[in-house]
Amino acid sequence: MSRLWGNLYLAYRAIAVRPIKAALGRDGGIERFHENYRPEGLIPTTPKDRAMLAAAGRCISCGLCDAFDGNFSKLDRSLYDGASLLPRQWSRSSVDLPHARRALARLRPAELRRAQAVCPTGVPLVELAHWLRDRARRLPTP
């Protein structure tokens, strides 16, 4: 019986309430949803994001890229801890990404390219840095 009432209520919401709300311009569930989560650093993942995440997922944490990354010695250790941070940390957590903005802005592509060239699994570090910069821009400042 409760199942029947449940289904009837869902039908009422779908057939009556939602069209009326939409007609009155008061339907904004998805926007409200995003507004709630954006301050926490949780933003929508686009197909391009997914592709980059898959590429970052190829990292096996071997650390070879760090040994060839010239940015490593040029930036302060508290700001940047090597190219492997890109696939291992910043790609995985957009919550932490706003904190990486300063480092991302200072990374030199030429240095990253050297690190990328020795990656055994072909993680595209330069593309990853561009994408992370773009994603960081989409996030609110903490």
Report the alpha-carbon distance of residue 58 to residue 125 in Å, rounded.
11
Q: Is 43 a residue that touches another protein (CB under 8 A)?
A: no
Choosing from 62, 79, 95, 110, the residue that interacts with another protein (CB under 8 A) is 62
Q: Which residues, 6+ apart, have CB-to-CB distance to 38 below 8 Å?
A: 139, 140
> Near another protein by CB under 8 A, which window of 2-10, 17-25, 96-104, 113-121?
113-121
Choosing from 6, 19, 63, 142, the residue that interacts with another protein (CB under 8 A) is 63
Q: Is 127 a residue that touches another protein (CB under 8 A)?
A: yes
Q: Which residues, 6+ apart, have CB-to-CB distance to 136 below 8 Å?
A: 97, 98, 100, 101, 104
Q: Is 118 a residue that touches another protein (CB under 8 A)?
A: yes
